């Protein structure tokens, strides 16, 4: 697969700093401008400015040439610094979704982290993710407001436990609000998630944890909100860090060659979270194809958004299945990657991941997912079960059935309800299709037999008459 191998470096030679300071009673205005040539694609540019004592709010406005054809991403770091992994210095990111923002002690634009404005050197980070041959002329206007310091922002994260009941819980593991490039408020997202029958959502904004810090402000109505971040490395693919502490921010500013991603994956693990590769094939132009080592990750989003199944999802399922054949226990997940409210190509919950968990809590949902106790479904009406039996032993999705005695037959029971009429269930093992069964109406009950020792795993796909996926299970391992 083709991957752009670029190095993030400062392009100071192209950076023309012409700071003009206009003195006013209660504000300072700074202006910086420069030019990024076409070769500056994906190269990070840090624009420093000095904040004197007494400033209580920073306002930034970005303007640049050929907006639309060019995309100039935007973020900011405080005086704590901007070196890799510096969470204290990170004060927000809006990528290409905003061209202006503000931060003060109490509030900030979505995507940005409120808190006291400390005196010292701040840095605005810009970089082009799309650039024309003519390059980009850019300008940053910074307004520093002086005032009386207000009480500082306190994080208000979502509750981590909704109930302690064991069950199968329906969730969407990937979505966006105004905190990155989504087109909806957090409250609207919660309403949609409830209306679409979800029990939990994972909040995954691009490269910022600003939403994680204030989910607690909203009426969640027994919907579990789990914190995450879509780590968007742009040229090398996207991955979701899910199950994070609200104050955790995962670094994204590295290339394949930098060889540092393990540090940040360990940060996810330390929070009890999981790292999931998103939309590994993404689009026809092959940009954002995933370039990092799959062995470092826990799972793969094999079904990304679009109520309608497409060939990129098929490519992802094939890739995942190939890893299973190598004995690599990667979790398959489905998620909407929803950006817009209401009726759209990818509404919240379509598709979704249904997880068997001991409780509706961050800890237990993550434990169920980690164990692969999950199936993927097009929508809320689809329920399924898969069981494998050998003698007195029984295993469900994600479990391992001991099949050390070679002369036996595993009985496989599969049932689905709420599927489209005439769909077909296929039992798949490491050699491919083992059996098929056609549904009558939208329901199906199948009983199959698999010889022990013939496959390391079994899993089921349910597809409609057009061959589009309706549901699929994670495997039961036969070892
Ligand atoms: Zn993405
Ligand atoms: Zn996304």
The closest ligand to the CA of 252 turns out to be 1
Are 192 and 293 within one domain? yes
* pTM greater than the 0.85 cutoff: yes
pLDDT at residue 22, as a whole number = 42
| Burial of 302 (C-beta count, 10 Å sphere; 0-12/13-18/19+) | buried
Are 283 and 169 within one domain? yes
Please say if the pLDDT value at position 228 is more than 90.
yes
- Give pairs for 260-265: CB < 8 Å, separation 24+: 260/84, 261/292, 261/296, 262/296, 263/85, 264/85, 264/231, 265/296, 265/297
pLDDT at residue 7, as a whole number = 32
pLDDT at residue 151, as a whole number = 84
Mean local confidence (pLDDT), 434-446: 93
Strands 45-51, 161-163: pairing is: unpaired
CA of 279 to the centre of ligand 1 (A): 7
Per the structure, how many domains does the chain have? 3
CA of 173 to the centre of ligand 1 (A): 12
Are 230 and 349 within one domain? yes
- Structure confidence by residue, pLDDT tens digits, 34-77: 999 999 999 999 999 999 999 999 999 999 999 989 999 999 99
Q: Is residue 4 part of a domain?
A: no
Are 328 and 424 within one domain? no
Cβ distance 32 to 127 under 8 Å? no
The closest ligand to the CA of 182 turns out to be 2
Are 179 and 258 within one domain? yes
- Structure confidence by residue, pLDDT tens digits, 98-118: 999 999 999 999 999 999 999
Are 360 and 309 within one domain? yes
Are 112 and 43 within one domain? yes
Residue with tokens 């898969």: 386
Are 367 and 390 within one domain? no
CB-proximal residues (5 Å) to ion ligand 1: 238, 278
Please say if the pLDDT value at position 284 is more than 60.
no
Q: Which residue, of 327, 354, 380, is where some domain finishes?
A: 380
Are 184 and 325 within one domain? yes
**What are the distances in angstroms from CA 414 to CA 306, 324, 388?**
26, 20, 9
DSSP 229-283: EEEE-SSS-EEEEES--TT--------TTT--HHHHHHHHHHTT-EEEE--TT-S
d(CA 233, CA 252): 5
The closest ligand to the CA of 280 turns out to be 1
Enter the tokens of residue 136: 């980009």
CA of 240 to the centre of ligand 1 (A): 8
Which residues partner with 355 through β-bridges?
169, 374
CA of 21 to the centre of ligand 2 (A): 39
| 180-209 exposure pattern, b = at least 16 Cβ within 10 A, e = fewer | bbbebebebbbbbbbebebbbbbbbbbbbb
| Residue in 273, 303, 278, 279 with CA at minimum distance from that of residue 365 | 273
CA of 76 to the centre of ligand 1 (A): 21
| Residue in 73, 56, 55 with CA at minimum distance from that of residue 64 | 73
Those residues with Cβ within 8 angstroms of residue 464's Cβ, 6 or more apart along the chain or in another chain: 419, 420, 422, 423, 470
pLDDT at residue 404, as a whole number = 80
Q: Both ends of the chain: CA-CA distance in Å?
A: 33
Question: Of all residues in the chain, what percent carry a pLDDT higher than 70?
Answer: 92
Please say if the pLDDT value at position 371 is more than 50.
yes
Q: What is the CATH number of the domain that holds 327?
A: 3.20.20.140
Structural domain that includes position 307: 155-380
Please say if the pLDDT value at position 27 is more than 70.
yes
């Amino acid at each position: 697969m083709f991957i752009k191998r670029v190095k993030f470096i400062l392009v100071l030679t192209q950076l023309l700093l012409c700071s003009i300071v206009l003195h006013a009673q209660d504000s300072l205005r700074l202006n910086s401008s420069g030019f990024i040539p076409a070769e500056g694609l994906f190269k990070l540019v840090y624009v420093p400015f000095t904040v004197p004592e007494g400033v209580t709010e920073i306002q930034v406005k970005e303007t640049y040439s050929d907006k639309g054809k060019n995309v100039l991403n935007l973020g900011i770091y405080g005086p704590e610094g901007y070196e890799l992994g510096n969470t204290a210095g990170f004060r927000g990111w809006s990528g290409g979704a905003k061209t202006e923002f503000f931060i003060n002690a109490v509030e900030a634009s979505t995507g940005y982290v409120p808190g006291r404005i400390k005196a010292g050197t701040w840095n605005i980070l810009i970089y082009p993710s799309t650039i024309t041959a003519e390059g980009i002329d850019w300008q940053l206007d910074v307004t520093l407001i002086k005032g009386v310091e207000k009480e500082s922002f306190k994080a208000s994260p979502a509750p981590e436990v909704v109930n302690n009941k064991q069950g199968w819980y329906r969730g969407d593991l990937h979505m966006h609000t105004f905190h990155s490039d989504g087109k909806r408020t957090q409250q609207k997202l919660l309403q949609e998630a409830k209306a679409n029958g979800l029990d939990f959502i994972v909040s995954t904004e691009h490269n910022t944890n600003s939403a994680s810090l204030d989910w607690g402000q909203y009426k969640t109505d027994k919907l579990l909100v789990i914190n995450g971040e879509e780590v968007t490395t742009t040229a090398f693919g996207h991955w979701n860090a899910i199950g994070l502490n609200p104050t955790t921010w995962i670094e994204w500013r590295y290339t394949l060659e930098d060889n540092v991603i393990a540090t940040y994956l360990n940060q996810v693990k330390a929070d009890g979270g999981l790292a999931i590769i998103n939309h590994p094939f993404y689009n026809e132009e092959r940009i954002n194809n995933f370039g990092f080592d799959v062995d470092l990750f826990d799972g793969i989003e094999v079904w990304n958004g679009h109520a309608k199944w497409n060939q990129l999802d098929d490519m992802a399922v094939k890739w995942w299945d190939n890893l299973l054949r190598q004995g690599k226990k990667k979790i398959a997940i489905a998620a909407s990657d929803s950006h817009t409210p209401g009726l759209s190509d990818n509404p919240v919950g379509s598709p979704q991941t249904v997880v068997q968990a001991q409780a509706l809590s961050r800890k237990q949902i993550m434990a169920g997912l980690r164990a692969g106790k999950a199936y993927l479904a097009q929508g809320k009406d689809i329920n399924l079960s898969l069981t494998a039996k050998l003698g007195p032993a029984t295993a469900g999705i994600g479990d391992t059935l001991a099949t050390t005695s070679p002369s036996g037959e595993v009985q496989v029971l599969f049932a689905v309800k709420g599927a489209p009429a005439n769909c077909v269930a296929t039992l798949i093992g490491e050699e491919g299709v083992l059996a098929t069964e056609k549904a009558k109406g939208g329901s199906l009950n199948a009983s199959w037999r698999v010889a022990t020792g013939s496959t390391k795993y079994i899993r089921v796909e349910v597809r409609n008459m057009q061959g589009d996926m309706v549901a699929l299970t994670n495997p039961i391992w036969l070892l």
